[in-house]
Structure 1
């Protein structure tokens, strides 16, 4: 029997970049979150391309290829609500495009619109002729239903049926991390690295899992390799900066190097709550608590709809005993 070529796809991560974005989840909630998108390349002249594609789909509304390009670009730029609308339009015109359905479902998941994501996955499921893809989609549905243990079983079946596909191992590892099963997650991420030794996503996830299990030496090797591959990447720099803060490398010449890294991280992600928290931590470790608090206070004033900013600010106030302000 000829094996089906259909499979859940994963971007060519070894050549990709992590791109930080500030995303407004919905106009009604106005909630803003920082997300890190994994893109195969940085998109230059993004706004011009958006205008060109928008004009094209208005002129030729029945087409779907340019509309899909527009949807992808809206996703990459952080305009997720508009991206969802365009992906829906593409699926209406080409319902057999299972990868577009999976992309839309995942986007709805990230936006917290889980019931909508489940509907999209349910529609994609009967379109799949690949057993592993079917198990993977069922796993995504169980994640949306807040049944992580069931999701693990589905992703394990997918990985067992198609062990050469890193997407299944990645999904499995992520759910295991959510369940605090760092050892199991690490085994899944190792499978990706056996297939693609320079997969930056697997390297970073492995680093996080290794920290969780206390294997700091191996974790350092993974982070160092990620730095060799993408030295100026936000996700990599953020982890190295967090490491330098844990090691309290904030004074003297080491402190100067850490400060340079603080500036680099903030330049890459000026809207990121994580980046500002690391800057605040740098000053706290230097004994400048007032400056640390001021950094996070300013962030909440500039981005009042970002819940992570408030979380970091609250923890900072709690650390210095400002209980009334915490409340």
Structure 2
């Protein structure tokens, strides 16, 4: 009979086998690490599959047995390992231990985050999903609604009453979504100081709520009569409450999209997440394929596809997300934005209406109502909805952003500027307000402030192509009167824009503008024409080419270009207005008749379309009565906009209705600062002088002409070409032919564009002829 193996001998055999296996595993791991270091991504996935179950067990233990948190931690660990392993692969001796340490550290970081914010919730709706999955959809009773509104109002008053040194960091963190480090940079404080101030603010609010005997808890849900064991309803401490339902934008990007109709288009979009690296696409797609039930990495994938302009794929992923998270309001908003920009407005409305059913906050409902109204073109309704949302959530930047953007769409620049200014009072580094207050500031002749805000926007977000585009347009105008260093800086911004968005019409137009204002017209036009040859299905490319062909005197070529763009995108307002300008210059009645009918029928709420129609009636159709009647609609639509009054006054003056013209111009002056100085200010001053001279008031006319000449001299530091042309007009009206000739010559030397160039050449020729002819003099 053979004897049984001794226990120690059995153990020794097992140990030897284990050591042999470990040695083999270490050799295999070493080979995989070598391949990873050489850039072989397939080796990483073999490593990950080897250790995934072990790491998941570790995550489950670290996250207290909560499976969803463990899955989230594992996916974040995977992304982190994918980034770090290629860098450290040659230094790792124990791969399993290295992965375990990375994963443990990440779990610790997540626990730290959970103590600062509502753990794992993307918005307030998800708190409902997490704690009340067993409940049916809640319907607030009138008593609950009153109580909640009273609580919200009381909390708002408490926040508003915080000391100034606590109020700003608290609002930046909870309402603007800024991190401690970002706030520290903005307020010139240390991270610890910021953290302490926010803790102090929380303590004050918690004490105030305690005195009022209010807890931030979910209202008592109505119970069915059925005997259901409901889970306990945990009260939420103020430090755990997500104070916003819709995430505020933190970046602006220019996204190029190819539509299903093969049109190439580009859109400026505001991102509520940190812009991602496009190199992550393959990683995210593979992860989503391997773990199709998860939603957080799918969210990252959907956002990345959105940034890359792959919008059909992005919509597909968002729909998958909403199957798992039907209350995720940000997903509805991004889907609606995509569909709206693609002119699929009915689909966008359906998405927003579905979100309305899911939203529980009144402010969110009003916000969604505003988005629906924008899709329908009902701007006044949209403005009312966003204002209601703001009343309920005064410090929610997204509501004010949308209010400002709707005013921009409706050309109500004065009210848009008010909305953006309010944003900047709460957060001086608000990226949307800094960028898009550009046009409203120009409308009130505050060019220096517009430039300052754009520079600040680029400081916050250096990849903001919209800010780069606006800034280079401002700087290019004065390219011949600035230092070589400033000109070099403008060129660097243009090159940055081309690197960030190389295949977009906007970036190529910035380059063309730079050349055109330097007098390199052929180079600028060649840049635009080359782009249309490379991208013939890009409507904006044709529109840009037509605009600058018109301004460089090539009217026939401009007409051909704008018709190409119009065929591709016949419903675009800017396209129609550029077409009208071209055909007014050509005096083409047949084309203008149909274009104006479409423009006025489709965009009656825009004041500028009525001005365009009025000029067409004067120059082409010779109908002064109808022109005056139509021009009067511009200030009626925008009574707070100086430009609307000035254009009305111009039409009246062209029709020799000088008393009415003066009255209109006077109202326009009431909306501008006395120190304002831009093209519209100088031009309106000359118009005022000419109308007064026609009425026999020579002394007052002289005052206006002198004012125009002085303002033009100041303007020449910023826009020399047009400034010298206007100064020439003012000096000619002051009967100073020598000064006028010098001004016109300076204007031509600075490459003034058409139609002003033609007028300058004509006036110069007449003045020189008068000086040479003593009899005429």
TM-score, normalised via structure 2 length: 0.39
What's the CA shift string for 1:146-198, capped at 9, x where partnerless?
11111111111111121111111011010011111111111111121122111
1:80 to 291, 311, 321: 311
User: Cα distance 1:12–1:171, how it changes in 2: closer, same or farther (>3 A)?
Assistant: closer
Q: Shift of the alpha carbon at 1:252?
A: 6.8
User: Cα distance 1:6–1:233, how it changes in 2: closer, same or farther (>3 A)?
Assistant: closer
What's the CA shift string for 1:252-309, capped at 9, x where partnerless?
7254443333323222221121221121122222222221211111001111121111
Q: For the residues of structure 2 that align with 1:231 and 1:122, how far apart are their CA atoms?
A: 36
Q: For the residues of structure 2 that align with 1:75 and 1:83, how far apart are their CA atoms?
A: 6
Q: For the residues of structure 1 that align with 2:467 and 2:374, how far apart are their CA atoms?
A: 27
Q: Shift of the alpha carbon at 1:6?
A: 7.0
Question: Equivalent residue of 1:156, what SS?
Answer: helix
Which structure would you say has the larger Rg? 2
> 1:237-252 counterparts in 2 under 5 A?
237-249=468-480
Is residue 2:386 matched to residue 1:155?
yes
User: Cα distance 1:216–1:301, how it changes in 2: closer, same or farther (>3 A)?
Assistant: same
Is residue 2:547 matched to residue 1:310?
no
Contact 1:22 1:34 in 2 (8 A): yes
Q: For the residues of structure 2 that align with 1:215 and 1:203, how far apart are their CA atoms?
A: 14
Show the counterpart of 2:285.
54
> 1:60-139 counterparts in 2 under 5 A?
60-139=291-370
Is residue 2:278 matched to residue 1:41?
no
1:264 to 493, 496, 502: 496
Q: Shift of the alpha carbon at 1:231?
A: 4.9
The higher-RCO structure (CA 8 Å, 6+ apart) is 1
1:9 to 216, 229, 246: 246
Show the counterpart of 1:19.
253
Is residue 2:506 matched to residue 1:277?
no
Question: Equivalent residue of 2:364, what SS?
Answer: helix
Q: For the residues of structure 2 that align with 1:56 and 1:12, how far apart are their CA atoms?
A: 27
User: Cα distance 1:195–1:320, how it changes in 2: closer, same or farther (>3 A)?
Assistant: closer
Contact 1:204 1:222 in 2 (8 A): yes
Is residue 2:524 matched to residue 1:292?
yes
Contact 2:512 2:523 in 1 (8 A): yes
Q: For the residues of structure 2 that align with 1:93 and 1:10, how far apart are their CA atoms?
A: 19
Contact 2:477 2:517 in 1 (8 A): no
Q: Shift of the alpha carbon at 1:232?
A: 5.7
Q: For the residues of structure 2 that align with 1:223 and 1:53, how far apart are their CA atoms?
A: 34
Q: For the residues of structure 1 that align with 2:249 and 2:520, how far apart are their CA atoms?
A: 43
Q: For the residues of structure 2 that align with 1:296 and 1:313, how far apart are their CA atoms?
A: 6
Show the counterpart of 1:208.
439
| Structure 2 spans left out of the alignment, 5+ residues | 1-146, 153-217, 219-241, 561-777
State the number of aligned residues: 320
TM-score, normalised via structure 1 length: 0.89
Contact 2:302 2:315 in 1 (8 A): yes
Question: Equivalent residue of 2:395, what SS?
Answer: coil
Contact 1:250 1:256 in 2 (8 A): no
User: Cα distance 1:260–1:164, how it changes in 2: closer, same or farther (>3 A)?
Assistant: closer
Indicate the larger mover: 246-255 or 276-285.
246-255
Q: Shift of the alpha carbon at 1:219?
A: 2.2
User: Cα distance 1:294–1:69, how it changes in 2: closer, same or farther (>3 A)?
Assistant: same
Indicate the larger mover: 311-320 or 60-69.
60-69
Indicate the larger mover: 111-120 or 60-69.
60-69
Contact 1:251 1:286 in 2 (8 A): no
User: Cα distance 1:249–1:228, how it changes in 2: closer, same or farther (>3 A)?
Assistant: farther
Q: For the residues of structure 1 that align with 2:329 and 2:492, how far apart are their CA atoms?
A: 44
